[in-house]
Amino acid sequence: MRYLPVFILILLFFSFQGALIRNSAYEGDLKLYWNSDKKVETLEIYIPVPQDTESQMMEIIELPECTVENGAFKFTFKDTDSAFIEIKFRVQTYTVVQEIFPHGKKEITDSCTLIDYNNPEIVKKTKEITEGCKNDLEKVKRIYSFVQGLTYDFNGEEKSASWTLENMKGDCTEFSFLFIALCKASGIDARPVWGWLPNENSKISHLWAEVYLGEWYSIDLTEKNFHVFKPHITFNEGFMEIKKNRSIDAIAIYTFRGEKPETHMRTELKLKEIPPWAEKKANYIEFSDSTAYIGVSESNAFFRVLPSSLLFLIFTLPFLFACAVRKKDVPR
């Protein structure tokens, strides 16, 4: 019986770990469609090169021929009225429990017209929300709570932060833009992040925010827990700037003759979860003379996920066996 408290502690530890830390691996198929009502002479499409973050490890496994410029894949087309790009990847996602300690500031960086943090109403509301705050973390929490009070309304359009403040509604894009604008107006730098949520709605892209408090911290304004950042698939942090064009996601630049064509571009993602026991060969991208190509590596262990239940068995079964043997050997 004297070993019972130890056993209970071990059980609680792995149960707690399993409840908070969810590590999942996915195979992703990202598709981009571009269409025009008439042919263009040249078309360049830029998609951000995804990076490893605190909450993910990313590997590209299939990529059309392209070059890399300014941290983006560049796909080139000629004399066309449509384009299709498909990128396949594998990603390991992690839940991050954030203990946020403000330990630095950075200069406020410019954003875009939709994040209009110099708008008088944004500035006025920021002062109202953050009045009496002792530090930047308190300001961020106050702003977060305020944005959480908005009504969620999916509209499929990008509205400005000032519009969102006036109408007090929006989707993940408007929530994030308003949060970022309020943070910037209070002297705290913040930026948007483009990606996806690995769930049944993963086909539609998602937007959240990162705030700088000595380092970048991820904040999803559609989630209710400030300190727990659940698995997200990140494709771009901040803004991508290409030839005086600025975007969160993809950029299309084209040349044409005559009247300007009407164009449309959309992205969609399909995800398939990789079972924890599945052994996968992971690929990686190498860059040579700015040309992207695929190389094969043997990083199989990257996609081996050891569930907490398995860890529990590994550590507790020998312990229980030893206790049973010890009890059997005790003379009566």
Q: Encode pLDDT of 244-287 as tens digits.
A: 888 888 999 999 999 999 999 999 899 988 876 554 444 434 43
Instruction: Assess whether 15 and 28 both reside in one domain.
Output: no
Query: Helix 4-20 and helix 308-329: axis angle, to 10°?
Result: 170
> Has residue 247 been placed in a domain?
yes
Q: Is residue 237 part of a domain?
A: no
pLDDT digits (tens, 9 = 90+) for 184-213: 999 999 999 999 988 765 667 899 999 999
pLDDT of residue 16 exceeding 80, the answer is no
Both 219 and 169 in one domain: the answer is yes
Q: Which of 253, 159, 256, 171 is nearest to 207 (CA)?
A: 171
| 123 and 206 part of one domain | yes
Alpha carbon distance, N-terminus to C-terminus of the chain:
16
The answer on pLDDT for 221 being more than 70 is yes
Mean pLDDT of the chain: 82
Three-class SS of residue 16?
Answer: helix
Domain total of the chain: 3
Q: Residue 205: which of 246, 238, 171 has the closest Cα? A: 171
* Amino acid sitting at position 305: V
Q: Flag whether 208 is in a domain.
A: yes
Same domain, 85 and 104: no
| CATH code at position 132 | 3.10.620.30
Say whether both 81 and 100 belong to one domain: no
Q: Tell me which residue range forms the domain holding 298.
A: 24-94+243-303
Contact 127, 81 (CB under 8 A): no
Burial 24-35 (b: 16+ CB within 10 A, else e): bbbbbebebebe
Prediction pTM value: 0.77
Is residue 309 one of the residues assigned to a domain?
no
What's the pLDDT score for residue 294?
A: 36
Position 308 scores a pLDDT of: 47
